[in-house]
Chains A and B, each alone.
Chain A
Amino acid sequence: AQSVAQPEDQVNVAEGNPLTVKCTYSVSGNPYLFWYVQYPNRGLQFLLKYITGDNLVKGSYGFEAEFNKSQTSFHLKKPSALVSDSALYFCAVRDVNQGGKLIFGQGTELSVKP
């Protein structure tokens, strides 16, 4: 079965420190992976995606994600966290059976303290 797991419900980081939000996936074939961010009382905003090619993908707002095929992971990273990065982050993978669909993780709440 296809699935996405975000093992941490919450991540706490001090401003200026690097941050990592973890995501692992299970899918047959080539995975197409996405990260979204949701600010309070808002819809989801697209951050970045991995389709093929370079394992390090750069996205919006200084975020990047590293695709690791052997570990089936797609962790979201940022070298220096900002208080304004505090939000809910979702990882998603394309459904290989129904190409239009995305399968979302449960979400990780990121809190960046000054």
Chain B
Amino acid sequence: DVKVTQSSRYLVKRTGEKVFLECVQDMDHENMFWYRQDPGLGLRLIYFSYDVKMKEKGDIPEGYSVSREKKERFSLILESASTNQTSMYLCASSLAGQGVYNEQFFGPGTRLTVL
């Protein structure tokens, strides 16, 4: 079974702090994704990565950056946390390649509160 783990289930930070959210997958997937989930807005893609050291902006990248130094690890960074970044953050991974139909596997989520 694919396993996607996230470093924290719950996190409380103060405005202005730098925040790191870590995600690790154990199935050698090429693709990794960061979403945020807010009530009534569904899942919104922040950033994704197709390979090590590669990143692409999603729909809402402002205020976030990412790092992918190793294939299994994809980090989301909030450079200076703000209260409007209080949300549930979900990491996902999937295989890439021709004939592969992009089923994504999700981690348990990190509920971040910024005070």
Contact = CB atoms under 8 A, between A and B. Distances in A.
A84 interface: no
A36 B33 CA distance: 16
Given A100-B96, A101-B48, A43 B111 contact: no
A75 B35 CA distance: 24
A90 B43 contact: yes
B76 interface: no
A105 B108 contact: no
A102 B102 contact: yes
Interface string B28-52: 0001010000001111010010100
A106 B48 contact: no
A22 interface: no
A53 interface: no
B107 A100 contact: no
Given A41-B111, A100-B31, A46 B103 contact: yes
B80 interface: no
Interface residues of A, number: 23
A44 B96 contact: no
Contacts of B31: 100
Interface string B44-84: 01001010000010100000000000000000000000000
A88 B50 CA distance: 28
Interface of B: 4, 9, 31, 33, 40-43, 45, 48, 50, 56, 58, 90, 92, 94, 96, 101-109, 111
26 contacts: A9-B40, A34-B103, A42-B109, A43-B90, A43-B107, A43-B108, A43-B109, A44-B90, A44-B92, A46-B103, A49-B101, A51-B101, A90-B42, A90-B43, A98-B56, A99-B102, A100-B31, A100-B48, A100-B50, A100-B94, A100-B96, A102-B102, A102-B104, A104-B42, A106-B41, A107-B42
Q: Which 7 A-B pairs have the closest CB atoms?
A: A43-B106, A106-B42, A44-B106, A100-B31, A104-B43, A43-B108, A43-B109
